[in-house]
A and B are shown apart, each in its own frame.
Chain A
Amino acid sequence: MANIKNVTKKTKAQAMGMHTEVLTGRTQQKFFNPDEAENFYYFGTYDVDFNKRTDLDVKDMTAAEANKEIDNLMSQGYGTIVIKNPQGKHSIGVGILNKLNLIFEGSLGYFGIGSCDGPTVRINGRVGWSCAENLMAGKVVIEKNAGSCFGAAIRGGDLICKGSVGARTGIDMKGGTIIIGGDAGAFTGFMMQRGRIIILGNVGINLGDSMYDGTIFVGGEIGSYGSDAVDAELTKSDQDWLKRKLKVAEIGENFNVSKMKKIVAGKKLWNYDNLEPTEKKGAI
């Protein structure tokens, strides 16, 4: 582990002139000061009107062109954008740090809705690998199936797939909630560090393998447990939360949550005493 007290000391590489920057070893306390919250903003965010709606046909656009046009429409105040003909293109709807209603009439390829903070997205089709990776806040609803690495490393927000998902759902997630209406593949919750995953159907092998923290709820059969994943008691408070969450997610509203299994980390591998940035924003 790096010794923060000695960060100003030159490394051998720096002494040889290989690079000149001095890493400061900034901690999360230093990173976020609640007193400065009112000054917090993302560069390039827009004041949009949700009642101002437009369509965008991306059939003949590249992903970069489509994303640029979404940004352009937001800059004009459009708060509801309907994307036509996405046709499985990769990397569409990424990097949106804004409140926005984004509707896709079709399916997305890889890395759709990546690195977003704030939008409400509905995809009336399927998504490929790594949908909504690094989501900070917002809500993403997929009406059909999703590929592997669904919700990888998300830190907040609600990610809902009404169909089934591939392997490694919620890998490395650090917050937020993932809800799956169908089945989930192998290594679901692999190395998850926080947040919750709800699977109404069956789940594959190695569930919650090497999970640090967080909670997984499963309604169906479990292929096998991963290393460090263990059963826990499903409390009344868990059931109430599950009911609320499934109702808000418009999925499995009548599902019998009392029979769900609750899986948590069997060992305390790390301490997470600091709030995630999204949680801090919520606390403010």
Chain B
Amino acid sequence: MCGIAGLIHRGKSSKVGHELQGMLQALKHRGEDSTGYALYGETDGKNFIMRFKVGENVGEGSTSVAEDVSVYDERKKIVDSYLAEMGAKIVKEERVLPYSLRYEIQYDKKDLLEFSQKIESIPGVEILSMGKSLEVIKDLGNAKMVCDRYNLDKLVGTHAIGHARMATESGVDIKSAHPFWGYPFSDVSVVHNGQLTNYWNNRRALENKGMRFMSECDSELIAVYLAEKMRDGASLEEGMKESLTGLDGVFTYFVATKDSLGMAKDTMAAKPLVLYESDDLVAMGSEEIAIRSILPQEIDTYDPFDGEVKVWQI
């Protein structure tokens, strides 16, 4: 059991970091092994924001092996040298935690595949997100712990999705935490609640087509699956509709892009989702209490039906 939440403000910005923290914290009983945020912030759209990790959180509950900080430093140095080699200029650098970094990068090429492959060829390095608006922040612990650790409370943006994880089929570590970046597409992220039963069949097929997996978490498949569909020319909504038959199992998932947010629910409707829609806000969560954390007044909510796909624009 995991919890997912999302919100999209239409026509305005808000403190989405703070709002999503409240929503995910309300769902912490669904799992607090790790929590992740995909926040779409206000930027001038000129530079890429790259969130990446050079190691794992090896705190209490982690299934990762401890490494010396000097190893992280060494990996960071290689990342910096590779960026220079590829003509990417670091405009701003922030080392939030010893293993977690945020770079603002000037990079003119649109194809991020080669870029990402180069960076992730460094053992232990993973790009958590790459985009001109998207920032994926994920770590061990509940929503408040992660929010405080990364100072997300004040982040202003238009929309966000997040995930409170109870680890069931893969390790307690950052690489298995949601959201997953829709590698190698800029500004695409996915969170998922459920289990996919045709994970390995799909994974093998996608890997044969050159797609990349960083974890053994079945949820990562959704991000990769949608990325592959979009690579082949499908729209986000078309890819999501195809996923209802292409992915087997029980699932409710959210996917977000720079200017949209979508949800899909499997044909068994086995995983919960509650939706609230108004002219200026759409909020959704595994349980209504997540929505109540930002809308305490009496509101009309509903459950989407089985096999339903919805996409909202900003």
Contact residue among A145, A167, A168, A186 (Cβ-Cβ distance under 8 Å from B301): A145
Instruction: Please indicate the chain B residues that have their CB under 8 angstroms from the CB of A166 in the complex.
Output: 269, 303, 305
How many residues on chain A are close to B (CB under 8 Å)?
30
Instruction: Please indicate the chain A residues that have their CB under 8 angstroms from the CB of B291 in the complex.
Output: 88
Instruction: Please indicate the chain B residues that have their CB under 8 angstroms from the CB of A98 in the complex.
Output: none
Q: Report whether A88 and B302 are in contact in the complex, using a CB–CB cutoff of 8 Å.
A: no
Q: Report whether B269 and A168 are in contact in the complex, using a CB–CB cutoff of 8 Å.
A: yes
Q: Report whether B300 and A147 are in contact in the complex, using a CB–CB cutoff of 8 Å.
A: no
In the complex, residue of chain A having the shortest beta-carbon distance to the beta carbon of B287: A109
Q: Which of B267, B274, B296, B299 has the most CB of A within 10 A?
A: B274
Q: Report whether A185 and B288 are in contact in the complex, using a CB–CB cutoff of 8 Å.
A: no
Contact residue among A107, A168, A186, A187 (Cβ-Cβ distance under 8 Å from B288): A107
Q: Known interface pairs A87-B292, A87-B296, A88-B288. Does A163 touch B306 (Cβ–Cβ under 8 Å)?
A: no
Comparing A44-52, A121-129, A250-258, the segment that makes contact with chain B is A121-129
Q: Is A266 on the interface with B (CB-CB < 8 A)?
A: no
Interface string of B265-276 (1 = CB under 8 A from A): 001111010100
| Docked complex Cα distance between A114 and B189 (Å) | 37
| Docked complex Cα distance between A147 and B292 (Å) | 16
| Docked complex Cα distance between A187 and B301 (Å) | 22
Q: Report whether A186 and B274 are in contact in the complex, using a CB–CB cutoff of 8 Å.
A: no
Majority secondary structure, A binding face:
loop
| Docked complex Cα distance between A105 and B298 (Å) | 9
Q: Report whether B289 and A183 are in contact in the complex, using a CB–CB cutoff of 8 Å.
A: no
Q: Report whether A185 and B306 are in contact in the complex, using a CB–CB cutoff of 8 Å.
A: yes
In the complex, residue of chain A having the shortest beta-carbon distance to the beta carbon of B300: A144
Which residues of A in the span 88-138 have a Cβ within 8 Å of any Cβ on B? 88-90, 105-107, 109-110, 125-126, 128-129
| Docked complex Cα distance between A106 and B300 (Å) | 10
Contact residue among B268, B274, B299 (Cβ-Cβ distance under 8 Å from A167): B268
* B positions within 8 Å CB-CB of A: 267-270, 272, 274, 287-289, 291-292, 296, 298-303, 305-307
In the A-B complex, the 3 residue pairs with the closest CB atoms: A167-B269, A88-B288, A186-B306
